[in-house]
Chain A
Amino acid sequence: MKRKMDPVDVVIVGLGAGGGPAAKVLSEAGYKVVGFDKGPWLRPEEHYSGDELKFQNRSYLWPDVNLMPRTVRSDANSEARIFNFSPVPSNVGGGTSHMAGWMPRPRVSDFIFHSLHGDLEGASLADWPYRYEHLEPYLTKVEWSYGISGLAGADKGEGFRSKAYPSAPLPPTRFGKKFYEGSNKLGINSFPLPMSHLTEGNALGRPAVNRTSFWNQYGDPTQTRSSVATTYIPEALATGNFEVRADSFVREVKVGKDGKATGVIYIDPSGAEIEQDARVVILALGAIESARLMLLSSSNHFPDGLANDSGLVGKNATFHEYIFAVGLFDRDMEDPLNGWTGNYQSGGSTHFYETDESRGHIGGGIIATTQIGQAINAIMPGRPAWGQAMKDADRDYFDYSMKIGFILQDMPQETNRVDLDPTVKDAWGMPVARITNKPHANDIAMSKWQIDQNQEILQAAGAKKTVPVYLGDEFTGNACHQQGTVRMGTDPAKSVLNEWGQAHSVENLFVLDGAGFPTALGVNPTLTIMAHSWRCADYIANTYMKGRSERLTLSPIKKS
């Protein structure tokens, strides 16, 4: 007989970018909420520092691939191999613990991708069941409560914005200045990228002292980086209505006789199996693990996995490969670029974001100039592996190279999916997520075209040599972004969730991470995930919990 905890109003599984805002909104609305994370609750001021080896090479924050493996294969006929695909920290705070913190807004066109482009062969394009205007108030709420820096008005193609940012951006780095120079020569609108990072004098009154440049993939020991673990989680706890259960692995969502979710079964830190009942279950484990947990939760009502009557759970996954071009500069001609400095990104652009079919592909995404990293792992494709040539390359280019990265907006395809691996199990004895993926021809074309543009900017900035790093024939999940596996839509035959992140077939089940995104976006997903979670949590608190329901009516799109 399993132990049973006292029932609560809401259970949230996963306390990262998706779970954090929901925890805050629902506990502040007076509901009793329990949040689970399978990883630890680390204390930034005690556990994080600028240790390259620990964070970049020895995976202190990434999931241990022996304990939480994933498998990957390129199609249904090939053998899956164990690979740390799309590793996101498994701890309270999730990906907001290590992320570089690009926080650009999505654009108006992102929500109507199918209306703008029609069908694309081999892809499953779709519109979102809501529009930019529905999310805008929540984007602003997140920017002002979580803490985002940026320069309002600098991104010429941005949609309507109700408020400027609460914090000015960081000054440009030396390589950032080069990026602006190259962009301006070519007439490309570039601007300081919005970041989950504050600067001195911010309107939130938060200290902003971390200028160590130990940033992307590092935890921040100060509160300079906005993270769910240092903002929304403590705010939720302050209500007295929220409890964190860390190191607790949720292995199943329970379903009752009426087909509704009744709560979860989890394994606590001592190894005991415990039941936690709730009126509402929210999944926010990230698109891979949310889909996995749904597939693990089969029942009489849902033999193929929770809310999977459409058979779509796990399908249409998108991953945003991070690709880039590196420029090498002549040390005898230039001042140092100090590519190892900066809190990762230092200037970006959405100039190439909107579709221009003359390029040979549809869609686009955001680019940014980013740190090359510290000395062990400094990014230099083609660096000699050893000997005098390696030492000379390090000495000549560590201070004289820069890169411009690109968030590749991959097209959703039903065959790019997450399912349960038939043989590999995790440390809790449960089948792991198996990822099947192959880039669409549009992804390959977009990669080539955009990285060549990035090379041109580097050349305009004075690079003597540029080196492209394109998308290969498989995704690696290196952006740590995951979307689409539990897609939202208006038609229950073609989607799993509705416009509130609510399962069509399980009314008290909500999935509030990137899993719901029908298309990948051309921007980093975190700000959208947080605003989306807040919007849906508002619906849960003010409409669903009050016994009501509401449907959104969308006006038709006029294609221009």
Chain B
Amino acid sequence: MVSKADWEIAPIRIDPDTTEKLFFTDHEWDTIEAAAARIMPTDQDPGAREARVIVFIDRYLFGIAYLYAAADGSGFLQLADKDAHAARARNANMQRLYREGIHELDKKARELRAPSFKEASEQTQDEVLEQISGVPKPIPVSLTSREVYYSRLQGNTDEGKSFFDTLCLHVRQGFYGDPVYGGNKDQMGWKTVGFVGPKSLKDTMDGTYSTAEFFIQEYDWEDLVPGFKHSQDPTSKQEQDGQ
């Protein structure tokens, strides 16, 4: 078997401006692009449409060739043997979920007297999304309301979710994920929220990309930790002196 440590890198890159469809039909592409634009709308800042979330989703659904970028972003890892087998099985499920989901979007749009989801007004599109989500369209966060939540697993895979929840997660991934995957064009998503991300994945591997400027520059542990004295720990000033 080929170990995960030895997966080959296929030197392929994704052009975010491409209109070449690898998985979707024209109709499916336009439908998902329209839905994504309602999930992450365009306002004074770019939304899913400008960030090319549709390219991101199309490549992901195409198969397993775009599942994992090489660490340095030079291409994509080619899974092998049992890992590839498991990933392909998941991909087949995901393709089915999308095809059925798109069918449902159109069906609900027609029930609201639109010719199709993609041709419906934004208001009707929102109504359809609200219906398939099963809960009212989200309202803005309030600083005065009180809510309680319970713990869940860290990480956020797309397994076992409904079509709507999957699509919402994929839109976030395409808007905020590393641009190497085809979305987040020109780091539009990152700029929208103030995430100062790396220029390339490679820059995260060797110290080129750093968030050091966002740490507190001037501090003294004796002030932050009342009662602590530097004499208790002679190494405590290294980092401060090093700056």
Contacts and interface: CB of A to CB of B under 8 A. Distances in A.
Interface of A: 39-43, 45-54, 56-60, 62, 64-67, 84, 87, 91, 151-154, 156, 164-174, 176-177, 180, 184, 189-192, 199-203, 209-214, 217, 221-222, 246-247, 269-271, 321-323, 328, 330, 336, 338, 340-342, 347, 374-377, 381-399, 427, 464-465, 467-472, 476-478, 480
Nearest to B144: A465
Contacts of A381: 147, 149
B235 A212 contact: no
22 contacts: A45-B205, A50-B198, A50-B201, A51-B204, A53-B178, A56-B156, A57-B158, A57-B173, A154-B233, A170-B239, A189-B225, A200-B242, A212-B210, A328-B141, A338-B214, A384-B138, A388-B43, A388-B140, A391-B40, A391-B47, A392-B141, A469-B150
B157 to A, nearest CB: 6
A50 B138 contact: no
Contacts of A476: 151-153
Contact of A385 (B138, B190, B206, B226): B138
Given A374-B176, A382-B141, A399-B194, A151 B236 contact: yes
A191 B214 contact: no
A514 B206 CA distance: 33
Contacts of B172: 375-377
B189 interface: yes
Counting chain B residues whose Cβ lies within 8 A of the other chain, the interface size class is 35 or more
A169 B214 CA distance: 16
B153 to A, nearest CB: 5
Interface stretch (B12-20, B67-75, B98-106): B67-75
Nearest to B170: A57
B211 A341 contact: yes
Nearest to A53: B177
Interface string B134-150: 00011111111101111
Contact of B215 (A87, A170, A396): A170
Interface in B225-240: 225-229, 232-240
Given A53-B181, A172-B216, A210 B236 contact: no
B86 A51 contact: no
B107 interface: no
B8 interface: no
A221 B198 CA distance: 15
Nearest to A150: B233
A62 to B, nearest CB: 7
A72 to B, nearest CB: 11
By CB atoms of chain A within 10 A, which of B4, B159, B243 has the most? B4
Contacts of B194: 336, 395, 398-399
B119 interface: no
Given A164-B233, A212-B210, A323-B151, A172 B215 contact: yes
B233 A165 contact: yes
B204 to A, nearest CB: 3
B221 A151 contact: yes
B71 to A, nearest CB: 4
B173 A46 contact: no
B141 to A, nearest CB: 5
